[in-house]
Chains A and B, each alone.
Chain A
Amino acid sequence: MPRSEMMIEKGLTLVDAINEALYQEMERDDRVVILGEDVGLNGGVFRVTDGLQKRFGPDRVVDTPLAESGIMGTAIGLAMAGMRPVPEIQFEGFLGPAFDQLVNHAARYRTRSRGAITVPMTVRVPVGGGIHAPELHSDSPEAIYAHQPGLKVVMPSTPYDAKGLLTSAIRDPDPVIFFEPKRVYRSFREHIPEEEYTIPIGQAKVVSEGSDITMISWGATVFQCLEALDQLPEDVSVELIDLRTIDPIDEDAICQSAEKTGRVVIVHEAPKTCGLGAELATIIQERCFLHLEAPVQRVCGFDTVMPYYKLELEYLPDAARIVEALQQVAAY
Chain B
Amino acid sequence: MSPTPTRSRPASNVRPSADLPDATLVGWLRMMTLIREFENRSAQAYQQAKIGGFCHLYTGQEAVAVGTLGALEPDDPVVHAYRDHGHALARGMDPKHCMAEMFGKITGCAKGKGGSMHMFDKPHWFFGGHGIVGAQTPLGVGLAFAAKYELEVLGTALSNPGVDPGAPAKKKVALAFLGDGALNQGALHEAMNLAGLWSLPCIFIVENNGYSMGTSIHRGTTMADDLLKKADAYGIRGEVIDGLDILRLYDAFKPLADWCRAEQKPAFVDLKTYRYLGHSMSDPQKYRTKDEVDRYKSMDSIERLAKHLMEERRCLTPAALDEMHAELHRIVMEALEFAESSPSPDPATELYSDVLVNPMPGMSPIREYVHGEKNPLL
Contact surface of A with B, Cβ cutoff 8 Å:
37-38, 41-42, 45, 63, 65-70, 93-94, 96-97, 131-137, 272, 295, 297, 302-305, 307-311, 314-315, 320-321, 324-325, 328-329, 332
Assembled-state Cα–Cα distance A82/B244 (Å): 49
Assembled-state Cα–Cα distance A45/B214 (Å): 10
Interface of A, helix, strand, loop or mixed by DSSP: loop
Closest partner residue, chain A, to B344 (CB atom): A310
The yes or no answer to B134 lying at the interface (CB within 8 A) is yes
B265-319 contacts to A, CB under 8 A, are: 284, 286-287
Assembled-state Cα–Cα distance A164/B214 (Å): 31
Assembled-state Cα–Cα distance A281/B220 (Å): 46
Q: Determine whether the beta carbon of A332 is less than 8 Å from that of B113.
A: no
Top 3 A-B residue pairs of the complex, sorted by shortest distance between their CB atoms: A132-B52, A65-B184, A310-B104
Q: Given known contacts A65-B221, A132-B53, A308-B114, is B215 in contact with A37 (CB within 8 Å)?
A: yes
Q: Collect the chain A residues with CB atoms within 8 Å of residue B366's CB.
A: 302
Partner of B375, one of A45, A97, A325: A325
The yes or no answer to B166 lying at the interface (CB within 8 A) is no
Q: Determine whether the beta carbon of A314 is less than 8 Å from that of B347.
A: yes
Q: What is the total of A-B residue contacts with beta carbons within 8 Å? A: 136
Q: Collect the chain B residues with CB atoms within 8 Å of residue A96's CB.
A: 132, 135
Quote the shortest CB–CB distance from A135 to chain B (angstroms): 7
Q: Given known contacts A63-B219, A134-B118, A303-B355, is B52 in contact with A309 (CB within 8 Å)?
A: yes
Q: Collect the chain B residues with CB atoms within 8 Å of residue A321's CB.
A: 369, 371
Assembled-state Cα–Cα distance A96/B131 (Å): 11
Assembled-state Cα–Cα distance A133/B131 (Å): 11
Q: Collect the chain B residues with CB atoms within 8 Å of residue A297's CB.
A: 375, 377-378
Q: Determine whether the beta carbon of B371 is less than 8 Å from that of A320.
A: yes
Q: Collect the chain A residues with CB atoms within 8 Å of residue B364's CB.
A: 272, 303
Q: Determine whether the beta carbon of B181 is less than 8 Å from that of A311.
A: no
Q: Determine whether the beta carbon of A38 is less than 8 Å from that of B185.
A: no
Quote the shortest CB–CB distance from B210 to chain A (angstroms): 14
Q: Collect the chain B residues with CB atoms within 8 Å of residue A305's CB.
A: 355
Q: Collect the chain B residues with CB atoms within 8 Å of residue A94's CB.
A: 132
Assuming A37-B213, A41-B286, A134-B115, what are 19 further A-B pairs, CB within 8 angstroms? A37-B212, A38-B213, A41-B214, A42-B286, A65-B181, A66-B213, A67-B184, A93-B131, A93-B132, A97-B134, A134-B54, A134-B131, A137-B54, A137-B131, A305-B355, A308-B104, A308-B118, A314-B370, A315-B351
Partner of A308, one of B113, B182, B363: B113
Q: Determine whether the beta carbon of B114 is less than 8 Å from that of A66.
A: no
Q: Collect the chain B residues with CB atoms within 8 Å of residue A69's CB.
A: 185-186
Q: Collect the chain B residues with CB atoms within 8 Å of residue A329's CB.
A: 378
The CB with the most chain B CB atoms within 10 A, among A96, A97, A328, A332, is that of: A97
Assembled-state Cα–Cα distance A114/B113 (Å): 47
Assembled-state Cα–Cα distance A118/B343 (Å): 54
Quote the shortest CB–CB distance from A312 to chain B (angstroms): 8
Assembled-state Cα–Cα distance A328/B352 (Å): 24
Q: Given known contacts A133-B54, A134-B115, A136-B132, is B213 in contact with A310 (CB within 8 Å)?
A: no
B95-154 contacts to A, CB under 8 A, are: 104-105, 112-118, 131-135
Q: Determine whether the beta carbon of B214 is less than 8 Å from that of A38.
A: yes
Quote the shortest CB–CB distance from A103 to chain B (angstroms): 16
User: What are 9 A-B contacts defined by CB distance under 8 Å?
Assistant: A37-B215, A42-B213, A97-B132, A131-B53, A137-B54, A307-B113, A310-B105, A315-B351, A325-B375
The yes or no answer to B350 lying at the interface (CB within 8 A) is yes
B314-355 contacts to A, CB under 8 A, are: 344-345, 347, 350-352, 355
Assembled-state Cα–Cα distance A133/B133 (Å): 16
Q: Determine whether the beta carbon of B186 is less than 8 Å from that of A67.
A: yes
Closest partner residue, chain A, to B182 (CB atom): A66
Q: Determine whether the beta carbon of B345 is less than 8 Å from that of A310.
A: yes
Closest partner residue, chain B, to A136 (CB atom): B131
Closest partner residue, chain B, to A325 (CB atom): B375
Assembled-state Cα–Cα distance A136/B220 (Å): 23
Assembled-state Cα–Cα distance A321/B373 (Å): 10
Assembled-state Cα–Cα distance A320/B214 (Å): 41
Q: Given known contacts A41-B286, A303-B363, A308-B52, is B134 in contact with A66 (CB within 8 Å)?
A: yes
The yes or no answer to B187 lying at the interface (CB within 8 A) is yes
Q: Given known contacts A66-B185, A96-B132, A310-B104, is B214 in contact with A42 (CB within 8 Å)?
A: yes
Assembled-state Cα–Cα distance A11/B53 (Å): 28
Assembled-state Cα–Cα distance A67/B222 (Å): 13
Q: Collect the chain B residues with CB atoms within 8 Å of residue A68's CB.
A: 185
Quote the shortest CB–CB distance from A12 to chain B (angstroms): 22
Q: Given known contacts A93-B131, A97-B132, A137-B53, is B375 in contact with A311 (CB within 8 Å)?
A: no
Assembled-state Cα–Cα distance A230/B102 (Å): 35
Quote the shortest CB–CB distance from B135 to chain A (angstroms): 8
Closest partner residue, chain A, to B363 (CB atom): A303
Quote the shortest CB–CB distance from B78 to chain A (angstroms): 21
Q: Collect the chain A residues with CB atoms within 8 Å of residue B221's CB.
A: 65
Assembled-state Cα–Cα distance A305/B114 (Å): 10
Quote the shortest CB–CB distance from B231 to chain A (angstroms): 18
Q: Collect the chain A residues with CB atoms within 8 Å of residue B344's CB.
A: 310-311
B193-215 contacts to A, CB under 8 A, are: 212-215
Assembled-state Cα–Cα distance A308/B186 (Å): 28
Q: Determine whether the beta carbon of B53 is less than 8 Å from that of A328.
A: no
Quote the shortest CB–CB distance from A73 to chain B (angstroms): 10
Q: Collect the chain A residues with CB atoms within 8 Å of residue B369's CB.
A: 302, 321
Assembled-state Cα–Cα distance A307/B105 (Å): 12
Partner of A70, one of B105, B184, B355, B377: B184
Quote the shortest CB–CB distance from B113 to chain A (angstroms): 5
Partner of B113, one of A45, A137, A303, A311: A311
Assembled-state Cα–Cα distance A45/B118 (Å): 21
Q: Given known contacts A37-B215, A66-B215, A70-B186, is B132 in contact with A304 (CB within 8 Å)?
A: no
Assembled-state Cα–Cα distance A328/B284 (Å): 49
